[in-house]
Structure 1
Amino acid sequence: MVNNSSGETTVGNGSLADGLGGLDDGIPQSLQVVLTIMLAMVAFSLGCTVEVPKLWFYLRRPWGVLVGLICQFGLMPLAAYLLTTGFSVPPVQAVAVIIMGCCPGGSISNIITYWLDGDMDLSIIMTGCSTVLGLGMMPLSLYMYTHFWVDTAYIKIPYFNIGITLITLVVPVASGVAVKYKWPKTAKIILRAGSVVGVLLAVVVGLASILLYQGSWHVDTSIVIIGSVFPLLGYSAGFIMAVILRQPWQRCRTIAMETGAQNVQICSTILQLSFPPEQMAIMIIFPLIYASFQLLTGLLLVTAYQIYKKTHLRRIADASGPELQSTPSVNSGNGEINMGFENDHRPVPTQVVID
């Protein structure tokens, strides 16, 4: 069992680096400050893509949001449980995997969605809604899937950290929305700069995972396998579910990213608050592995999509003439720009989905 024999829970007082074996505190903390600033800049720039009418549209008719939340809090915890039982993971590490699956969406999903030409309005609303609903859905999911191994009363949900996460998302995005509303030309410039910062953020996170936490990769093969396939499983399950429910392709890509990209920081915080240091040092390895493969898989998907998009546009231009290269198609039904893909938004029967 994961519980202490005394029934008490010792709270570790270190950072993620401490749990992984004693790195200099100054390095991870300074890196965390840099990453936080970069993330705020990216959130601000992504807010410059959001349109108030579309936000109101999703609030009035939240079909896409509901599909995404079903994937987030329905498919991901279930997938985590099936993976841990299928690979016969020891209870201590199994709890870490399931906590990861129960977390709300992370901000990395917004960055990947942008590069996949997804629906940024839906992506940001889904991230915010999953964070809010996580206050209640996380305890419920943890009770359902972890009470076999651990007394869920000792798993502390970091409500304060979740609230801070929500604020750090809402404030920069709201500022970006205001800039787009008042100064649309300036918003375009900010968006270009933010997209570059987003790429740098992904590179910095990837390098930090490799260089700062090299010792964390010496774990059971089953944990590495689960950490590598879990994000891809989340992306795939979210996309398939959205296709089954007849969502447009742009929303399918968005829901896929929101499903597979979890908030790793919340998972790490729960582990640090809820378990003694000797157990936390083992359990906290999985969020790092998940974060690394979550980012790697997302970058591979973006690379494949961008190659496909350029090839597709070149083929259309060769077949239809040079005028198509400078004329992006616009879907006037809901105000979405089609990025040159004339079939990106497939027709949806009105009796199945009402937009």
Structure 2
Amino acid sequence: MMLPVDEVRLNFNPASLVLLNVVLGFLMFGIALDTKAEDFKRVLRMPFAMAVGIAAQFIVLPAATFVLTLLLKPGPSIALGMILVACCPPGNISNILTHRAGGNVALSVSMTAISNALAIVLMPLNVAFWGGLHPTAAPLLRSIALDPLEMGGHIIAIIGLPFVLGIAFANRLPALTERIKKPARIASFACLVLFILAAVAGNWRYFLDYVGLVILAVVLHDALAFGIGYACASLTGLKEYERRAVSIEVGIRNAGLGLVLIFGFFGGLGGMAVVAGVWGFWDIIAGLALASWWGRKPAEGRPQ
């Protein structure tokens, strides 16, 4: 007899979790190697576009996700997983997809850098706020006794510290950075994908049993995320060149970080882990399809 998804705890041994933390730290280090002081200075040259993208990620998307969970009425752990994914920062694959889409890569890179820095504080606060408001997920969150400060400390260790070290490394050793940044980015992303595959493979029976419960929610949620980015950019008057960057930046969430937090703070809670695992693959597929479609036609506002 199949257990309710809210009662399932997926398996991921402590040693593997430590290694996954290291891989994520390496991923953030790789992002930082590609981040220059100039990326932060660009914020001063395009403050409005940056503000729109940040607001879409950290305010509009979590709020819209909350509403989507009320409409779909998934199980509490699935709803909490959707909220957690929505609160995650973007991954650096968003920069690659923005380039493929013919969008503003400078804006995308800057948003990735700023968003990951802000996520150290905003992610645990957002999860606690929206999860605490949810009628069915809130009791589950209280039973876990999530401490936003503890989660914030964990995020600092696996996002903040490697990010700062990567920027310092790039500034001190620019020649070496140029040689290793691309291989480091590819290797860290490949390791992250392998770990997501390992998490799914190690709990394959659970994913087969429960994927049907989350696939529609993930597909709708992912489409909503891309749509929110594009709509916010359009409604605020940004040109197509910026709209594509903002849409992809809001649509691509770091599901790998979500999995780390789910195994580290939520005990591998079934619905949450299945949502993050399915999102990790679907998000890349959907983002690649959207970027390829956009890339077929020039974007309005793109410098010639």
Deviations 1:227-260 (A, max 9, x none): 3332332133223322332446357425533454
- Which of 17, 21, 25 is matched with 1:32 structurally? 17
**Structure 2: how far apart are the matches of 1:251 and 1:47?**
24
Give the deviation of 1:188 after TM superposition. Answer: 1.8
- 1:54 is matched with 39
Matched, 1:113 2:95: yes
Give the deviation of 1:192 after TM superposition. Answer: 1.5
Q: Kindly provide the amino acid, as one letter, of the partner of residue 223 in structure 1.
A: V
Matched, 1:257 2:255: no
Q: Any unmatched runs of 5+ in structure 1? A: 1-17, 273-280, 313-340, 348-355
Q: Kindly provide the amino acid, as one letter, of the partner of residue 280 in structure 2.
A: Q
Matches within 5 A, 1:226-245: 226-245=217-236
Work out the number of aligned pairs and report it.
283
- Flag the 1:147–1:162 CA change in 2: closer, same or farther, 3 A: same
Give the fraction of aligned pairs with identical amino acids, expressed as a percent: 14
Matched, 1:288 2:274: yes
Q: Any unmatched runs of 5+ in structure 2? A: 1-7, 100-104
Give the deviation of 1:164 after TM superposition. Answer: 2.4
**Structure 1: how far apart are the matches of 2:61 and 2:235?**
17
**Structure 1: how far apart are the matches of 2:28 and 2:138?**
38
Q: Which has the higher contact order (CA 8 A, sep 6+)?
A: 2
Q: Kindly provide the amino acid, as one letter, of the partner of residue 271 in structure 1.
A: F
- 1:164 is matched with 154
Give the deviation of 1:58 after TM superposition. Answer: 2.3
- 2:134 is matched with 145
- 1:69 is matched with 54
**Structure 2: how far apart are the matches of 1:211 and 1:30?**
17
| Corresponding residue SS for 1:50 | coil
Matched, 1:126 2:115: yes
Give the deviation of 1:123 after TM superposition. Answer: 0.5
Give the deviation of 1:50 after TM superposition. Answer: 1.5
Give the deviation of 1:214 after TM superposition. Answer: 0.7
| Stretch deviating more after TM superposition (151-160 or 287-296) | 151-160
- Flag the 1:292–1:148 CA change in 2: closer, same or farther, 3 A: closer
Matched, 1:207 2:197: yes
Matched, 1:188 2:170: no
| Stretch deviating more after TM superposition (32-41 or 186-195) | 32-41
When you count helix as a share of all residues, which structure comes out higher? Answer: 2
Deviations 1:10-65 (A, max 9, x none): xxxxxxxx922xx5x6xx43433333333333322221221213314427964344
Larger radius of gyration: 1
- Flag the 1:143–1:33 CA change in 2: closer, same or farther, 3 A: closer
Q: Kindly provide the amino acid, as one letter, of the partner of residue 157 in structure 1.
A: D
- 2:68 is matched with 83
| Corresponding residue SS for 1:47 | helix
What is the Cα-based RMSD across aligned positions, in Å? 3.6
Contact 2:81/2:271, CA 8 A, preserved across alignment:
no
Contact 2:111/2:249, CA 8 A, preserved across alignment:
no
- 2:5 is matched with none
Contact 1:231/1:261, CA 8 A, preserved across alignment:
no
